[in-house]
Structure 1
Amino acid sequence: MCGICCMLVLNPQEGISNTLGKDTLESLQRRGPNCSQQLSKEVPELGYNIFFSGHVLHMRGCLKPQPLQDTQGNLLLWNGEVFGGIEIGPEGNDTQIILQHLSSCKNEESTLSVFSAIQGPWTFIYYQAFSHCLWFGRDFFGRRSLLWQFKNAGNLYLTLTSVSLSQSVSKYGNIPWQEVPARGIYKIDLQRNTGGNSLAISWYPWKYRSIEYEFKTLHLGEDVQFIEELPSFVSVFLNGSKLFLIAPITPMNYSVCETCVDTADSEASSVNVESFLSDEKKKKLVLQFINVLSESVRRRVLFLPRCQIHPSSQFTVSNKANVAILFSGGVDSMVLAALADHHIPQDEPIDLLNVAFKQQKTSAKQKKSNASRALEEETLQEDNSGLKETTSFNVPDRISGLSGLKELQIINPARNWNFVEINITLEELNEMRQQRISHLVRPLDTVLDDSIGCAVWFAARGIGTRTSNGEIQPYISCAKVVLTGIGADEQLAGYSRHRVCYKTSGFEGLVKELGMELGRISSRNLGRDDRVIGDHGKEARFPFLDEAVVSFLNSLPVWEKADLTLPRGIGEKLLLRMAAKELGLTASAVLPKRAMQFGSRIAKMENHKEKASDKCNRLSQSSID
């Protein structure tokens, strides 16, 4: 994880060094606390200045300051992890090796081949000295944040950054930030963008390697358009050579089943996940899925640095915990925990980060409206007879999390599972939203973005308590890597809207919906989550969005992944639930989907009449602006 920023000024009237304000530098440095560096490049003969600011979170190899510069004058800002495609040894430095590859590129094709090869999350900003070109972009899924902002205020400005820069509002008016679309990579030819008051950006979209599929694939031809809204003085166009990046995944299987049996009328009581595993073909498929997901987790939990965070003495800190998991006790986080257990050394703890928001006292009318959830929570509590007396923090995710902890302790009693109870009051939520969280969530602005952004920020911070030898102790997680289960619902039909879609449009509608889910995950989820988790100097990693995992799931017809004729807790994410059972999990394998904003109860803390899609006024009240 790194905080990267680049400011380009065309036809500058004055230098642009030291343009980042104190708040902005601190925000970038929180993402990259181990090393910071700033460089300026002024080319008056071509009429442009560029300012680079790099802040490094050291993850592996020798620590290298950014921007990294080679002997040819090329400069690279890199925020990513290479998990495949390009050889990076356990002690290798990603930034250094990527720059070596780019330094040997003498044309567009060779530059594109480098980024087509990389497997793993990344954003980059690369200045190619000999051609006077500025390249930038995000990976295929958009797993790392990159924002852009354009200004035409005497000079023409482009700013690219991991997080929005707060001082822009007061200095230039309310000029919006936007996420750089994860639809390819981009290039600005600075020799051709001299003079005038417009900016032209070449676009290199993704294209699948092979079109030899019977099902629908992605065709990008001459009519491909860049449809995102931009200022009138900015144009983004398909590159003149019509070159493309090669997509790192297999395209979605859009097959529609015409012979599948509808099991909607079968008795729910007769259906269980174990029964599916008795089918030899299904069991083989489950084992294949476990293998590919396990390898994804392995790549993300090995070769990590030792913990070097030294908080105040009031916290108990494990110096061995390198990996934490956003943990609700649901099937996604439980499977990740079980697989991480296979690869992390036995003497190393795993931090399970479980967040809960304090609940206000409810009226009799509200209690009655909550009756539909009572049975589920009572069932979970029956399996947790050792739980403390119900408190205002005993939200559904806390109950299911403690239940999941017991399952993990049964699977591996020798492991030190640090269940971190992170309890947040309304007062602390309001304070930290104003101070830190709101500008990290932006440019997203809905009630849903606020709820999830705040919940993830507090969870990833990892400050709470744990119970050790029957004693509750203050605790802070110092793990630099935070695993999250995002991507499972989008690929395996985990949301309630998928059931609605299947009911109204059948398999054809469902598979189109899943294709759309994966296509928009960068703009709806990943940039926001990367900014929020990265604010703690930690790195979000997404095992369900590993290229091999997505390719495997994309290759399957939709009915192999989910059966939405079956009851909740079974039909959605059926393939993952079978994998959970195969891994030895029990109650968590059939726990119905519960969104984080409801499971943590953050959605119940403030305006109960809001809709998830409403614009959230609380996000516009940041004191940073």
Structure 2
Amino acid sequence: MCGICCMLILAPQKDGSDVLAKDMLESLQRRGPNHSQHLSREVPELGYNVFFSGHVLHMRGCLNPQPMQDAQGNLLLWNGEVFGGIKIGPEGNDTQIILQQLSSCKNEESILSVFSSIQGPWAFIYYQLSSHCLWFGRDFFGRRSLLWQFKNVENLCLTLTSVSTSVPQCANVPWKEVPTCGLYKIDIQKQTNAKLLAISWYPWKHGRIEYEFKTLHLGDKEQFTEKLPNFVSVFLNESKLFLTAPIIPMNCSMPESCTDTANCEPSSVNIEIFLSNEHKKQLVHKFINVLSESVRRRVLFLPRSENRPICSDQFTVSDEAKVAILFSGGVDSMVLSALADHHIPPDEPIDLLNVAFKQQEQKRQKTSTKQKKKSNVFSTLEEETLECDNGSVKKATAFNVPDRITGLSGLKELQIINPARRWNFIEINITLEELKEMRRQRISHLVHPLDTVLDDSIGCAVWFAARGIGTNTSNGETQPYISTAKVVLTGVGADEQLAGYSRHRVCYKASGCEGLVKELGLELGRISSRNLGRDDRVIGDHGKEARFPFLDEEVVCFLNALPVWEKADLTLPRGTGEKLLLRMAAKELGLTASAVLPKRAMQFGSRIAKMENNKEKASDKCNRLQQNSALQ
């Protein structure tokens, strides 16, 4: 994880170093606390200046300052992790190796080949001195944030950055997320008009599918036209080159028939019945293997020896967790926890980050009998009392929200699976006062340029969870705790691929399997603008790195190859049909109650959605985010 920023100013002898806002610099430094560096390239004969600011969070290999420069004077700002496609050893530094690859590139095709081969999250800015070209972009899913802003007041200026300023933006110079439609190049020496900016676009293309180039991503091109100011143009590159997409197209085949079990009671469907089918069992094991490898890549190569003094013939264990998991006790986080347990050294603790927002007394009403009948699973979990590990019973508090209750239940399952592991269950309790204060100080501008009620709820919940400040209650004791884990695993991508959202059931009921397949086909295309850039910004603000095992390229390819009925069966009731493949995997991993928990979105499970305005819709513009921006 790094904080990267670049300013291109089309004006002779104009230095960019004095226009980097103080609050932006502080945000970038929080993302990359281990090293900061600035470099500037002034080219008065061509009438431009380009300023670079790099801030490094050291994760593996030797610490290399950014921007990194090669022998030819080319500069690279890199915010990413290479998990495959390009060979990097356990002690290798991916920034250095990517720059070496780019330094050897002789043309556009070879640069595109480098980025087509990378598996893992990335955002980058690359300056080629000899050709005076500026390349930039984000990975196929947009797992790393990159924003752009265009100004044309005194001079035309393009700013690319991981995170924006917290100063309110004028209507004519808004921040926008760089679209994850491919790579972009600015040939600076061809910018003859200092009042206009032309950007070449190199789109993604599936290797198996032949497209007519003129129609490729036409919708994305129209979005460029709508979102960009009139002095900026994005056009398909003249050479008609493209990147090869890192995933295969989704299997859109339809089932011959469906069995209607939509009205079954949850208790009447046993997931173990599905596992008695040999084909399904083999499929589940293949899924476990590919997802396990994804988790392994994301937890293995971390600096684990830095705090371990050497003994005579072995290391002494450090007490600090290196990996944390955003943990609700739901099937997504439970499966990630169980798989992480397979690969993280057995003497190393794992932090389970569980966030809850304080509820007012009148909002903590006992669940009615009628409501309980709707879900047998949650009826036993949402009682006003809670059984502790030592067998005692404590009264529910204002923080015993659904995710807290299911989280504690999930902790017990993990302790049964591996009682030797130290599972740190971190209760992160947030009051309304702290929510308002930290939203004003930090969170609102991290969520920006997203601005809906849903963005506010999830952005705030993820920020507090990733901060990791709470109470460790997992070992029968209550101790203040601060998670120092640099890696934060999140289950984003499971619902999008395995039909986990309620909208998928709505779509299925309205349009059947055909409508569901179409909806799932849209999910990964919009996940960057809906989730990933925002989540990267709010988690990265703590000097931690978000990692998304369900969005590993090989995991997505595996799931895309399957017909929809192998991944989900929405004729089955909630808690079974959605994410059926993942639920079967959970059972095979030894998980029990969590395998059949119905989906509960984070904003509802943590109860942040109930704190301030219950009448809002998730898609509404969030006044609280706008008010906070106006106050700064």
TM-score using structure 1 length: 0.94
**CA distance, structure 1, for counterparts of residue 248 and residue 588 of structure 2:** 26
Residue of structure 2 in register with 1:323 after alignment: 323
Contact 1:384 1:403 in 2 (8 A): no
**CA distance, structure 1, for counterparts of residue 41 and residue 490 of structure 2:** 38
| Aligned partner (choices 569, 589, 596) of residue 595 of structure 2 | 589
Q: Write the deviation string for residues 73-120 of structure 1: whole angstroms up to 9, x where unpaired.
A: 100000000000001110000100000000001100000000000000
Residue of structure 2 in register with 1:487 after alignment: 493
Contact 2:319 2:349 in 1 (8 A): no
State the shift of 1:271 in Å.
1.6
Please give the residue correspondences for 1:381-400 in structure 2 after superposition, counting only pairs within 5 Å.
385-386=387-388, 388-400=394-406
Change (3 A) 1:353 1:254: same
Gaps of 5+ in 1: 212-217, 310-316
Residue of structure 2 in register with 1:227 after alignment: 222
Please give the residue correspondences for 1:44-443 in structure 2 after superposition, counting only pairs within 5 Å.
44-167=44-167, 169=169, 175-211=173-209, 219=211, 221-224=213-216, 225=218, 226-228=221-223, 229-264=227-262, 268-306=266-304, 319-362=319-362, 371=371, 376-380=377-381, 385-386=387-388, 388-443=394-449
State the shift of 1:377 in Å.
4.1
Residue of structure 2 in register with 1:453 after alignment: 459
Which residue type is aligned with residue 227 of structure 1?
E
Which residue type is aligned with residue 437 of structure 2?
E
**CA distance, structure 2, for counterparts of residue 204 and residue 374 of structure 1:** 49
| SS of residue matched to 1:388 | strand
Q: Write the deviation string for residues 302-344 of structure 1: whole angstroms up to 9, x where unpaired.
A: 01124989xxxxxxx9743000000000000000000000000
Q: Write the deviation string for residues 267-287 of structure 1: whole angstroms up to 9, x where unpaired.
A: 654321100000000000000
Change (3 A) 1:135 1:168: farther
Residue of structure 1 in register with 2:29 after alignment: 29
| SS of residue matched to 1:362 | helix
Q: Write the deviation string for residues 120-154 of structure 1: whole angstroms up to 9, x where unpaired.
A: 00000000111110000000000000000001112
**CA distance, structure 2, for counterparts of residue 173 and residue 508 of structure 1:** 41
Which residue type is aligned with residue 27 of structure 1?
S
| Aligned partner (choices 542, 545, 553) of residue 548 of structure 2 | 542
State the shift of 1:381 in Å.
5.8
Gaps of 5+ in 2: 308-316
| Aligned partner (choices 541, 566, 575) of residue 569 of structure 1 | 575
**CA distance, structure 1, for counterparts of residue 516 and residue 382 of structure 2:** 35
Give the share of equivalent positions with the same residue, in percent.
Answer: 78
Contact 2:266 2:576 in 1 (8 A): no
State the shift of 1:197 in Å.
1.2
Contact 2:138 2:183 in 1 (8 A): yes
Contact 2:326 2:352 in 1 (8 A): yes
Contact 2:31 2:57 in 1 (8 A): yes
**CA distance, structure 2, for counterparts of residue 564 and residue 449 of structure 1:** 27
Change (3 A) 1:369 1:219: farther
Contact 2:471 2:478 in 1 (8 A): yes
Residue of structure 2 in register with 1:500 after alignment: 506
State the shift of 1:442 in Å.
0.4
Residue of structure 2 in register with 1:215 after alignment: none
Which residue type is aligned with residue 105 of structure 1?
C
**CA distance, structure 1, for counterparts of residue 275 and residue 386 of structure 2:** 27
State the shift of 1:260 in Å.
3.7
Please identify, of 338-347 and 372-381, the stretch whose mean Cα deviation from structure 2 is larger: 372-381
State the shift of 1:256 in Å.
1.2
Contact 1:125 1:134 in 2 (8 A): yes
| SS of residue matched to 1:621 | helix
Change (3 A) 1:365 1:77: closer
Please identify, of 221-230 and 320-329, the stretch whose mean Cα deviation from structure 2 is larger: 221-230
Contact 1:141 1:521 in 2 (8 A): yes
Which residue type is aligned with residue 256 of structure 1?
M
Contact 2:60 2:303 in 1 (8 A): yes
Which residue type is aligned with residue 601 of structure 1?
R
Residue of structure 2 in register with 1:214 after alignment: none
**CA distance, structure 2, for counterparts of residue 589 and residue 547 of structure 1:** 24
**CA distance, structure 1, for counterparts of residue 263 and residue 609 of structure 2:** 35
Contact 2:13 2:47 in 1 (8 A): no
**CA distance, structure 1, for counterparts of residue 127 and residue 364 of structure 2:** 63
Please identify, of 355-364 and 127-136, the stretch whose mean Cα deviation from structure 2 is larger: 355-364
**CA distance, structure 1, for counterparts of residue 11 and residue 265 of structure 2:** 72
Q: Write the deviation string for residues 538-581 of structure 1: whole angstroms up to 9, x where unpaired.
A: 00000000000000000000000000000000000000000000
| SS of residue matched to 1:380 | coil
Which residue type is aligned with residue 175 of structure 1?
V
State the shift of 1:227 in Å.
1.9
**CA distance, structure 1, for counterparts of residue 546 and residue 187 of structure 2:** 33
Root-mean-square deviation (CA, aligned residues, Å) is 2.1
Q: Does 1:473 align with 2:469?
A: no
| SS of residue matched to 2:100 | helix
**CA distance, structure 2, for counterparts of residue 376 and residue 576 of structure 1:** 18
Residue of structure 2 in register with 1:312 after alignment: none
Please identify, of 28-37 and 194-203, the stretch whose mean Cα deviation from structure 2 is larger: 194-203
Residue of structure 2 in register with 1:525 after alignment: 531
**CA distance, structure 1, for counterparts of residue 355 and residue 320 of structure 2:** 22
Residue of structure 2 in register with 1:313 after alignment: none
Contact 2:382 2:402 in 1 (8 A): no
Please identify, of 344-353 and 5-14, the stretch whose mean Cα deviation from structure 2 is larger: 5-14
State the shift of 1:59 in Å.
0.2
TM-score using structure 2 length: 0.93
For these two proteins, the number of residue pairs brought into alignment is 610
Contact 1:321 1:478 in 2 (8 A): yes
Contact 1:82 1:120 in 2 (8 A): yes
Please identify, of 522-531 and 354-363, the stretch whose mean Cα deviation from structure 2 is larger: 354-363
Which residue type is aligned with residue 415 of structure 2?
Q
Change (3 A) 1:119 1:333: same
Residue of structure 1 in register with 2:618 after alignment: 612
Q: Write the deviation string for residues 153-189 of structure 1: whole angstroms up to 9, x where unpaired.
A: 12101000000123573xx666210000001010000
**CA distance, structure 2, for counterparts of residue 139 and residue 260 of structure 1:** 37
Contact 1:492 1:561 in 2 (8 A): yes
**CA distance, structure 2, for counterparts of residue 167 and residue 490 of structure 1:** 34
| SS of residue matched to 2:215 | coil
Q: Write the deviation string for residues 439-469 of structure 1: whole angstroms up to 9, x where unpaired.
A: 0000000000000000000000000001265
